[in-house]
Amino acid sequence: MMRWFETWRSGLVALTLIFLTAMGALGFVSPAMAAQLSATEVKVSLGNAAGELKFFPNTFEFVAGQTYKLLLENPSPEKHYFTSKDFADASWTRKVEAGNVEVKGDIRELELKPGATAEWMFVPMKPGTYTLRCTIPGHAEAGMTGEIIIK
Ligand SMILES: [Cu+2]
């Protein structure tokens, strides 16, 4: 009788662990959820309706270890890139959302077609000053550059 009870109890513990692991995997129990609520939103415009080749704003300052949500939009008549490989390497990307698609994992460059918007959620990790540029030929040279600082 005792052995039956012990077996039943350890089985229950195992089942509970499996259940919690599955919940975690499905995202029901996720520490990211709490952090997501406290993400600081920062807007950036790639170009403008007048067709100026600039980022608005073109200087960003982030605090290492905090969660940010960068809201990107392209109100201009042409395609632009938000490219800062060193900054991306110095940060931990949680996810990128664009349209109905959510991308998880490393991101190094975002392409926004005219009228497009995207959200990049990340945690800057390594302090430094990083260069931002649009990699469409001629755009960086025309002034489509910026600076991202992680403090
Ligand atoms: Cu551009």
Q: How far is the CA of 83 from the centre of ligand 1 (A)?
A: 10
Q: What is the pLDDT along the chain (151 residues), one digit of tens a residue?
A: 556 555 555 554 444 444 444 444 555 545 555 555 689 999 999 999 999 999 999 999 999 999 999 999 999 999 999 999 999 999 999 999 998 899 998 888 999 999 999 999 999 999 999 999 999 999 999 999 999 999 9
Please state, in angstroms and rounded to a whole number, the distance separating the CA atoms of residues 40 and 141: 31
Nearest C-alpha neighbor of 148 from the set 42, 52, 32: 42
ω into 57 cis (within 30 of 0)? yes
Q: How far is the CA of 135 from the centre of ligand 1 (A)?
A: 7
What count of residues does the chain have? Answer: 151
Q: How far is the CA of 146 from the centre of ligand 1 (A)?
A: 12
Helix or strand or coil: residue 30?
Answer: coil
pTM of the predicted structure, to 2 decimals: 0.75
Residue 33: the pLDDT is 58
Q: How far is the CA of 111 from the centre of ligand 1 (A)?
A: 9
